[in-house]
Amino acid sequence: MSYGTDRVEPYKRAAILVDKILRGAKPADLPVEQPTKFELVINLNTAKQIGLTIAPNVLARADRVIK
């Protein structure tokens, strides 16, 4: 089980910042950004191998379930 930032979102934000810099913005003037999108990923194969049972309501809340 993993709860963390979306893996794609930081690359999208980086592209936007690079675009701003290439258009003349000073890097020191750009704001520091924190992630806003998080995802819950559950690996059922691993849970089964170590003997864990994941509750159905937790599975329903997961953004991605690896079977």
At 1-60, the pLDDT tens digits run 999 998 888 999 999 999 999 999 999 999 998 988 899 999 999 999 999 999 999 999
Residue 36 has a pLDDT of 87
The answer to whether 39 and 15 are in contact (CB under 8 A) is no
pTM over 0.85: no
Residue 62 has a pLDDT of 97
The answer to whether 67 and 46 are in contact (CB under 8 A) is no
Residue 7 has a pLDDT of 86
Q: In what order do the strands lie in the sheet with 38-43?
A: 2-5, 38-43, 64-66
Joined together, the tokens standing for residue 7 give: 């893996």
Residue 6 has a pLDDT of 87
Query: Residue with structure tokens 């993993």?
Result: 2
Domain segments of the chain: what residues? 2-66
